[in-house]
């Protein structure tokens, strides 16, 4: 048997690539920064394809695979994080088959929610595409079979998070509707834990907390994602030579108005891809 070759040295300037349909992945970037503050990052927002939640599985799989193929070929990241629940639950397996870099996905945090709940009733907020996936069914069967999981598609929250980060006012009724819809389901009045199954949603967690009330806790997958990235890059050298960059698939005024928020997340340059 031939011995496995030693891994090639990692270029210390090789970046992490975080990919999302919009700015939702910034909720993941926050946690990555805490564990890997020296890591150079390229943040990619496919805002020309936003929102993903109302697209078919075939459309999402083709778009994500095509974009990440071109991005990795051009940018040579050391690791790719699909910081999007919708893209991950649909395209993660196919992307891993074609890309030769480590891929970290994002999945609904049903396992930690099942451990947290005291009443046994969990709410799940996601996009339409995410909540209908068999992947979510499998997570529920594996980790929350003895719980009650109530799912609600809340695409309004994606737009609300994007608007908030641009500095636009957001109608509180958006968050009240999400809470009320879950509460009106059978056993919804017993919800004490809500899974934020879209990376956009932690960006409006404070508003959701106000809508749900003080007896509800929220959980998302960002902490686990950051730990996984840190584990896969453990011992690797890091060197940031320039300000981190944000790539968008469409320009315009909305992107310009995101600049202060992006800068607050350490993204000092913006370009189109």
How many whole angstroms separate alpha carbon 238 and alpha carbon 10? Answer: 9
In a domain? residue 8 = no
How many domains is the chain partitioned into structurally? 2
Catalytic residue selected from 82, 198, 258, 267: 198
* Judgement on whether residues 26 and 115 belong to the same structural domain of the protein: no
- Residue 171, domain CATH: 3.40.50.1860
* Judgement on whether residues 30 and 97 belong to the same structural domain of the protein: yes
Q: Distances in Å between the alpha carbon of 62 and those of 1, 52, 56, 57, 67?
A: 38, 12, 10, 9, 9
- Domain span including residue 212: 110-220
* Alpha helix segments (H runs only) across the chain: 26-35, 57-75, 85-98, 110-116, 128-131, 134-143, 155-166, 173-183, 205-212, 222-232, 253-256, 259-264
End of a domain among 220, 238, 262?
A: 220
Predicted confidence pLDDT, tens digits, the chain (273 residues): 334 344 568 999 999 999 999 999 999 999 999 999 999 999 999 999 999 988 999 999 999 999 999 999 999 999 999 999 999 999 999 999 999 999 999 999 999 999 999 999 999 999 999 999 999 999 999 999 999 999 999 999 999 999 999 999 999 999 999 999 999 999 999 999 999 999 999 999 999 999 999 999 999 999 999 999 999 999 999 999 999 999 999 999 999 999 999 999 999 999 999
Residue bearing tokens 């209908």: 132
Q: Is 81 a catalytic residue?
A: no
In a domain? residue 7 = no
Query: For residue 269, what is the enclosing H or E element?
Result: strand 267-272
Catalytic residue selected from 84, 139, 245, 262: 84
Q: Is 261 a catalytic residue?
A: no
106: tokens are: 């994002």
Q: Which of 117, 209, 113, 199 lies closest to 158 in space, CA to CA?
A: 199
pLDDT recorded at residue 7: 56
pLDDT recorded at residue 9: 80
* Judgement on whether residues 35 and 127 belong to the same structural domain of the protein: no
* Judgement on whether residues 101 and 119 belong to the same structural domain of the protein: no
Q: Which of 199, 191, 198, 181 lies closest to 216 in space, CA to CA?
A: 191
pLDDT, tens digit (0-9, with 9 covering 90-100), for 110-133: 999 999 999 999 999 999 999 999
* Judgement on whether residues 128 and 187 belong to the same structural domain of the protein: yes
pLDDT recorded at residue 2: 38
Q: pTM score, two decimals?
A: 0.94
Residue bearing tokens 């947290």: 116
pLDDT recorded at residue 43: 98
258: tokens are: 């995101």
**40 touches 237 (CB < 8 A):** no
Q: Distances in Å between the alpha carbon of 137 and those of 55, 126, 131?
A: 20, 14, 9
Q: Which of 20, 28, 1 lies closest to 202 in space, CA to CA?
A: 28
* Judgement on whether residues 160 and 228 belong to the same structural domain of the protein: no
């Amino acid at each position: 048997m031939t011995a496995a070759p030693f891994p090639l040295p990692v270029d210390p300037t090789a970046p992490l690539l975080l990919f999302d349909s919009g700015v939702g992945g910034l909720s993941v970037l926050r946690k990555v920064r805490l564990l890997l503050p020296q890591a150079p990052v390229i943040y990619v927002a496919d805002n020309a394809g936003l929102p993903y939640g109302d697209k078919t599985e075939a459309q999402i799989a083709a778009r994500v695979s095509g974009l990440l193929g071109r991005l990795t070929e051009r940018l040579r990241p050391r690791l790719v994080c699909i910081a999007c629940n919708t893209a991950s639950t649909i395209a993660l397996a196919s992307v891993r088959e074609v890309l030769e870099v480590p891929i970290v996905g994002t999945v609904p945090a049903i396992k930690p929610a099942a451990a947290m709940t005291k009443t046994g009733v969990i709410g799940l907020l996601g996009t339409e595409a995410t909540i209908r996936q068999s992947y979510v069914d499998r997570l529920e069967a594996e980790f929350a079979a003895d719980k009650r999981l109530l799912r609600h598609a809340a695409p309004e929250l994606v737009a609300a998070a994007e608007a908030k980060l641009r500095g636009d006012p957001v109608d509180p009724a958006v968050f009240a509707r999400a809470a009320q819809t879950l509460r009106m389901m059978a056993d919804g009045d017993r919800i004490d834990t809500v899974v934020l199954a879209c990376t956009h949603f932690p960006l409006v967690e404070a508003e959701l907390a106000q809508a749900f009330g003080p007896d509800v806790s929220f959980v998302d997958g960002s902490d686990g994602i950051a730990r996984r990235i840190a584990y896969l890059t453990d011992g690797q050298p890091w060197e940031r030579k320039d300000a981190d960059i944000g790539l968008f698939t469409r320009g315009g005024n909305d992107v310009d108005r995101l600049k202060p928020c992006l800068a607050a997340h350490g993204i000092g340059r913006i370009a189109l891809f």
